[in-house]
Amino acid sequence: MFIDLLRSRRSIRQFEKRPVDQEKIDMLIEAALRAPTSRGLNPWEFIFVTEPDTLEKLAGAKAHGSSFVKNGALAVVVCAHPEKSDVWVEDTAIASIILHLAAADLGLGSCWVQIRKRDHDDQTTAEDYVKNLLCLDPSLVVEAVIAIGYPAETKGGHDRTKLLDERISFERYGEKR
């Protein structure tokens, strides 16, 4: 059941040193392309990266929070054409979570790296760094990089008692059952 996948999925930052099977990459591609978008505008673009040298360079996109990308066998760079849709941020975020869930369903681990509105260093944004590295069209914007691979760490799902039930209201804000 889908709820079981949600209960067990965790962000994974340690990966086995083995490539992701092409069949699984193809399924991730299909999952990304099936992601819902506002008005069916599909403003996203996905760059699937498997070359170790490029993964190593992507791991340096930010000073903090991206180094684990080099450990993955695959990274998916999630981009958009902002002129195609005013809700491209939402559309790329939806596509990204679809990729995370599809990866988990395939027995893969994954973790998000925020790129948009982050810095590479004092002179360069993380987005410009990724755009230059991957020779992206200047009109594209980069939302995130998703590291994917076979998990080399095991994490249990979050306990139900740790979920933030106090953030749930019924009918009106603040109303509880």
- 22-33 and 88-105 helices cross at what angle (nearest 10)? 150
- pLDDT at 79 (0 to 100): 98
The beta-strand segments (E) located in the chain are 44-49, 74-80, 109-114, 141-149
Residue range 98-112: mean pLDDT, rounded? 98
**pLDDT tens-digit readout, 23-66:** 999 999 999 999 999 999 999 999 999 999 999 999 999 999 99
Residue range 84-99: mean pLDDT, rounded? 98
Domain count, the chain: 1
- pLDDT at 4 (0 to 100): 94
pLDDT bracket for residue 121 (50, 70, 90): very high
Q: Mean pLDDT score of the chain, rounded to an integer?
A: 97
**pLDDT tens-digit readout, 137-167:** 999 999 999 999 999 999 999 999 999 999 9
Residues 6+ apart with CB under 8 A from 177: 170
Domain presence at residue 175: no
Domain presence at residue 95: yes
Q: What's 136's domain CATH number?
A: 3.40.109.10
Domain presence at residue 172: no
Domain presence at residue 90: yes
Quick one: CA dihedral 139, 145, 146, 151, positive or negative?
positive
Domain coverage including residue 148? 2-167
